[in-house]
Amino acid sequence: MVSYMNVLLYGVGGLVVAGMALLVAFQEKLVYVPVLPGLSKAYAITPSRLRLTYEDIWLTSSDGVRLHAWFIKLFPNCRGPTILFFQENAGNIAHRLEMVRIMLQQLQCNVFMLSYRGYGASDGYPSQHGITKDAQAALDHLCQRSDIDTSRIVVFGRSLGGAVGAVLTKNNPDKVAALILENTFTSILDMAGVLLPFLKWFIGGSSSKGKILNFLVRSPWSTIDVVGQIKQPILFLSGLQDEMVPPSHMQMLYAKAATRNNRCLFVEFPTGMHMDTWLAGGDQYWRTIQQFLEQHAPVKKEVESSQNENGSDHVRHEMDENARVEVEHACYIYSSCNDVPPIRGTALQNSGCIHKQVCTENISLLYQDSDGRCLLS
């Protein structure tokens, strides 16, 4: 019996030591994956492939790293909201272009896509300290531009990008109008226990008040410590079928933010997975974001009045049948709800925030007019 227990203890100890060794040696490769298996680091396509108007932007971070980005505009003089988009940990910004194309059409916005250091055409090697500087360089660039409404800059981060966006938003209360988080983790510390379950006994929780081996994690990305300090409005988009980040992480982030910020909104998408919530959520996904932007990044009244006097850049004309153009994957309008009815306006206890549940529905439209609006088929 004694020998059996010794073997068991040695086995558990060996697993812990092996896990620690893997964590110390390869943690950056686990957290940051600039190159997907079987693909190259270079961009597979550029926005021009999807007929999007864009600029190649080259930035220099505060520590001297050369960074690349794409600034994609709905049209040259668009004064709509500008989305500063931060991607997930794997691949590069080219892999998000189809989603961004639909984002432009649905939200009538501009989108700035940054390649983190070590990703795409950017120099350097990824780290939490470095990527935080990269995000600040991107925001500073946007704030210096004269061709956008700098009061309508909204940060949008998915997964790792949500952690990046949360830090940037907290650090820039006067530059960022609002924050959108989608399928974001509470911290890399907690994700270590998700990916390697036996580590959850040794790593996790707050970076400042966590477990004994937290000091080994070089990129903790403790969003749970940051989100409660954000003063701007926050929209939480959670796919309940997320196979990478447990949906409970988003719920904890929302609960932490809502205790101090009464301008929060939490929306669940029952069929949304880690990477496809924007697609599974359909029209309700885009409508939720659009309403959030209209409320928290509205057009300035003087600009709106000026546009009305000049005929407006956004006048929408009725299109006759001959003017309709069918565009594959251009937009998605949905008709009947599957299984779960929407739950709207359900107030959470002890919170000034609103919780919604959004159902997925069936595609019934793939048409677009010359102004980029979706039309019923």
Other CB atoms within 10 A of residue 207 CB:
17
Whether 369 is a known active-site residue: answer: no
Q: Which positions ≥6 away from 238 have C-beta within 8 Å?
A: 182, 183, 247, 250, 251, 266, 267, 268, 269, 272, 277
Q: Which positions ≥6 away from 287 have C-beta within 8 Å?
A: none
Which of the following is catalytic: 274, 276, 314, 351?
Answer: 274
Q: How many whole angstroms separate alpha carbon 353 and alpha carbon 257?
A: 10
Whether 159 is a known active-site residue: answer: yes
**Residue given tokens 């990269």 in the structure block:** 134
User: What one-character-per-residue DSSP string does 225-291 give?
Assistant: HHGGG--S-EEEEEETT-SSS-HHHHHHHHHHHHTT-S-EEEEEETT--TTTHHHHTHHHHHHHHHH
Q: How many alpha carbons fall within 13 Å on the CB side of residue 345?
A: 0
Which of the following is catalytic: 61, 115, 122, 159?
Answer: 159
Rg of the chain over Cα atoms, rounded to whole angstroms, equals 22
Which of the following is catalytic: 190, 225, 242, 283?
Answer: 242
Whether 242 is a known active-site residue: answer: yes
Q: How many whole angstroms separate alpha carbon 260 and alpha carbon 202?
A: 30
Q: How many whole angstroms separate alpha carbon 309 and alpha carbon 36?
A: 50
Whether residue 269 contacts residue 281, with contact meaning beta carbons closer than 8 Å, is answered with: yes
Which contiguous run of DSSP H or E holds residue 362?
Answer: strand 361-365
Whether residue 36 contacts residue 87, with contact meaning beta carbons closer than 8 Å, is answered with: no
Q: How many whole angstroms separate alpha carbon 68 and alpha carbon 16?
A: 40
**Residue given tokens 């270079």 in the structure block:** 42
**Distances from the Cα of 113 to the Cα of 38, 87, 221, 290, angstroms:** 23, 8, 20, 19
Token code pair at residue 44: 């597979």
CB neighbour burial string for 223-254, b if at least 16 within 10 angstroms, e if fewer: bbbbbbbbebbbbbbbbbebebbbbebbbbbb
**Catalytic center residues:** 159, 242, 274
